[in-house]
Structure 1
Amino acid sequence: MADDFNESIEKTLKFGQDDARYGQIKFDLRYRYDNTDSTNPKKEVANASTARLRLGYLTPIFKGLQAFAEFEGNQDIGVNSYDSTMNGKTQYEKINDPQQNELNQLWVSYKGVPNTEARLGRQLIQIDNERFIGASAWRQLERTYDALLLNNTSLPNTSVILGYISKDQNTDSTIQSLQLPLANISYNFANMGKLTGYSYFMDFRDPSAYEASNQTYGVSFDGTRKLNDTLGFVYRTEYAYQSSYRHSTPYQADYYHIIGGFTAYGFIVKGAMEQLGGKGLNKTFDTPLGLLHKFSGWADVFTTTPDNGYRDVYASVEKELMGIRLIGFYRDWSDDTGKKHYGDEWDFMVTKEFFKHYNLMAKYAYFSTDTGGTAIGKFDTQKVWFGAGITF
């Protein structure tokens, strides 16, 4: 009965057709409850209850051309005792999910050249693991970009992404201008992994964001190796070099991310170290357009890099059991030398998908500060989330 119900909705969103010959409507509704508490004496406990809707229309492909337009809106439902960064309630802890409505995407693409797609307009951009350029999809309002993006796979096992970004629509619905040419080239080695090289030149045009400007060059190797039906290895190593660009203060900083782990009997176990360098001069290795919640801990304590950088040594365990996905992290935070300890963090999440289109989520994060963390203004922080979603 559920399959029949879902199929009828899918067909309705394709205007009664099975093949989307008239295009299709895209629908994404997500509810979330967020509770944030810390030992910061200047902040009250925050509670946010919000519902986010994305509604769009994707045209059929006509002579290689296709277009997409999408509205996105986030609405408080009941509880709204939180600092959304835009509602003026600064006495509460910050939860960056403001009540806003926006044009989320509006783009046209062309696929008339074999193995090539060119896309122009406001669009979602998710490059590699989104450490440097991503969508921040965890937030209720995701990040999108005004850009021209070219993706080519003509060469065997090779992907070439070239682009230019002129605007960034952030997760609080504000728009900032920038000039960002980018290049990302990867090659897949059979049964080994993917080697990627990239360069990003971020020139932020608003004077208040000048210091975020940077030029970054990096290389990564990411892969898996299956030994048999029950055992395999996972690994990733990445290095990037960053320096000042255009209006930013002169600086140089390094980035390292090393992951090693294994898969066995449905478990995925990893140990890793990620390091963002800092020189103690308020200039650090920064990723202003990358995912923060995913990489900087779910407690969101390190969404800005401390002056002396940070080293995140972490371990994770992931398992799917009876269709329920379980994942847990332990993180040990210090400065980029490992000598000044900032604190420890535990993160846990449970998700469940139903009938392909429906999902439930529960999530928990707790950061415990140490003397080094207290010295740079970090507080014990606890966060709890519950959510549900429908996507067609």
Structure 2
Amino acid sequence: MLKKKSLTSAVSLGLLAAAAQTTFAAESITEALSQGEAHLNLRLRYESVAEDVAAGGNKTGDALTLKTRVNYKTEGFKGFSGFVEFDDVSNFAGDSNDSVNGQVSESLIADPVGSEVNQAYISYSNWNSEFKYGRQRLTYDNHRFVGHVGWRQNEQTYDAFTAANSSVENLKLNYAHIANVNRIFGEASVVGDTEMDSHLLNASYTLPAGTVTGYAYLLETDDNFAGFKRMDTDTYGVRWQGVAGDLAYNVEYASQESAGKNPADYSSDYMLVEASYKLAPLTLGLGYEALGADKDGFFITPLATLFKFQGWTDMFLNKGLGNISEGINDTYFTVGGAALGVKWLLAYHSFESEQNNAAGDSDLGSELGAMVTKSWGPYSAELRYASYSAGDSTAFNGGGLSLKDTEKVWLTMSANF
């Protein structure tokens, strides 16, 4: 599989290979290259963080960053095509800990500066199937188990072989073998890559009332970094996504057990129940998500887009595992709507641990979030705010998680060409 050290040369070889063998639209290799499409994406973001500290006072951080993305996809030739995408993240102002700059006295805003190949793969389409080999974006369902962390300026991508098939009507089959995870921390970070030998299977069948999905995610790390061995897990689950008139709902259950060289020996469960109802001009939402724990370990989702879950302040990332040793139960309410071309959303989360901590406490605090967005032509703007209140919470996660009042603000401007 492609690794970062050799990816620059692999990009050139990949495009040449795609052109040399490469959907049926192009009549020659030259046409496949010359008739391709190039795109430019710019995303400018200001992020501000203010959080309490145990010793009193507060800790702050802010950053003004720009993500510049350029990509190119060849035209198809005999089923083959090539795709390459470069990202650059620049920081123009502010003081924050971007995870690699050493400014640990500032609040964390995990958008490190740097340039890298975000995607570079060869694809082949035929027999109602598509196969991809190389560095690529990979997401399944709602991103709870496999996601691209697209919120952060440096996206998470995968060096992988993937296959998708839709030969049977209403049935979609997906398989992926992951050799490396290119994490959001970038090439300069010691945890910027996770070498893996992981297999993902995801199958969904669409019925008139909704879609049922079954999956098996078998993760195994080949990396010598000790913390990554915690990712060695086997997860099996089923998801039902249904619609009944103005009511949409999701129900999901998964079971996970440790595997490979995981230092923990455990079995734990995951459950999701959520619904949204259109009551014009509003959409109301209610949900409950539970990530379980037992005395020997806890349910983790190390490949997820974690920003989408458990609120926006990222209080429970726990080094990317997405859960804490006591487990997390998240009850949330949302209300949203649109007026004058502006969409808005309010969200409230109430968190409790599944198991009490050493002090007999289960209160993990609460979060209130608000967002407004507007799009026009190739442009979009978003203003987002989140405030987490620790309440009377005491230390969790075996004493390693000290909850603290936190406020975050984001202003994002995007342009796509």
Question: Normalised by the size of structure 2, how large is the TM-score?
Answer: 0.84
2: CA distance, partners of 1:361 / 1:161: 33
1: CA distance, partners of 2:242 / 2:282: 17
Aligned-partner residue type, residue 132 of structure 2: R
Question: Does residue 399 of structure 2 align to residue 381 of structure 1?
Answer: no
2: CA distance, partners of 1:272 / 1:361: 24
2: CA distance, partners of 1:266 / 1:123: 38
Q: CA deviation at 1:261?
A: 2.7
Question: Does residue 295 of structure 2 align to residue 270 of structure 1?
Answer: no
2: CA distance, partners of 1:237 / 1:215: 20
Question: Does residue 381 of structure 2 align to residue 363 of structure 1?
Answer: no
Task: Report SS of the residue matched to 2:244.
Answer: strand
2: CA distance, partners of 1:296 / 1:94: 18
Select between 262-271 and 241-250 the one with higher mean Cα deviation: 262-271
Question: Does residue 82 of structure 2 align to residue 67 of structure 1?
Answer: yes
1: CA distance, partners of 2:54 / 2:255: 38
* TM-superposition CA deviations, 1:110-166 (whole Å, max 9, x none): 11x232111110000011111111100000011000111101111011100011111
1:160 is matched with which residue: 173, 179, 191?
A: 173
The answer to whether the 8 A contact 1:242-1:254 is kept is: yes
Q: CA deviation at 1:264?
A: 2.1
Question: Does residue 132 of structure 2 align to residue 119 of structure 1?
Answer: yes
Select between 361-370 and 33-42 the one with higher mean Cα deviation: 33-42
The 5 Å alignment of 1:163-242 reads: 163-173=176-186, 174-190=192-208, 192-207=209-224, 208=226, 209-226=228-245, 232-242=246-256
2: CA distance, partners of 1:222 / 1:385: 31
Q: CA deviation at 1:210?
A: 0.5
Task: Report SS of the residue matched to 2:229.
Answer: helix
2: CA distance, partners of 1:223 / 1:105: 33
The answer to whether the 8 A contact 1:296-1:303 is kept is: no
Structure-2 residue corresponding to 1:299? 313
* TM-superposition CA deviations, 1:281-331 (whole Å, max 9, x none): 4x2110000011111210110112221110000011121222211111100
Aligned-partner residue type, residue 359 of structure 1: S
Structure-1 residue corresponding to 2:370? 348
Question: Does residue 147 of structure 2 align to residue 134 of structure 1?
Answer: yes
Structure-1 residue corresponding to 2:332? 314
Task: Report SS of the residue matched to 2:254.
Answer: strand
Structure-2 residue corresponding to 1:40? 53
Q: CA deviation at 1:266?
A: 3.9
Select between 302-311 and 336-345 the one with higher mean Cα deviation: 336-345
Assess, with a 3 A threshold, how the Cα gap between structure 1 residues 182 and 142 changes in structure 2: closer, same or farther: same
Q: CA deviation at 1:374?
A: 4.6
Select between 371-380 and 64-73 the one with higher mean Cα deviation: 371-380
Sequence identity (%): 30
1: CA distance, partners of 2:173 / 2:336: 31
2: CA distance, partners of 1:21 / 1:94: 43
* TM-superposition CA deviations, 1:254-301 (whole Å, max 9, x none): 0000012311214221111000011244x2110000011111210110
2: CA distance, partners of 1:98 / 1:272: 33
Aligned-partner residue type, residue 340 of structure 1: S
Question: Normalised by the size of structure 1, how large is the TM-score?
Answer: 0.90
Aligned-partner residue type, residue 77 of structure 1: F
Task: Report SS of the residue matched to 2:345.
Answer: strand
The answer to whether the 8 A contact 1:342-1:374 is kept is: no
The answer to whether the 8 A contact 2:52-2:59 is kept is: no
Residue ranges of structure 1 left out of the alignment (5+ in a row): 1-18, 227-231
* TM-superposition CA deviations, 1:330-368 (whole Å, max 9, x none): 00000025871110100111111011x100010000010
Aligned-partner residue type, residue 96 of structure 1: A
Q: CA deviation at 1:204?
A: 1.4
Task: Report SS of the residue matched to 1:311.
Answer: strand
The 5 Å alignment of 1:283-294 reads: 283-294=297-308
Structure-1 residue corresponding to 2:10? none
1: CA distance, partners of 2:267 / 2:114: 37
Assess, with a 3 A threshold, how the Cα gap between structure 1 residues 65 and 373 changes in structure 2: closer, same or farther: farther
Structure-2 residue corresponding to 1:7? none
Q: CA deviation at 1:21?
A: 6.5
2: CA distance, partners of 1:257 / 1:212: 21
Number of residue pairs the alignment of both structures matches = 364
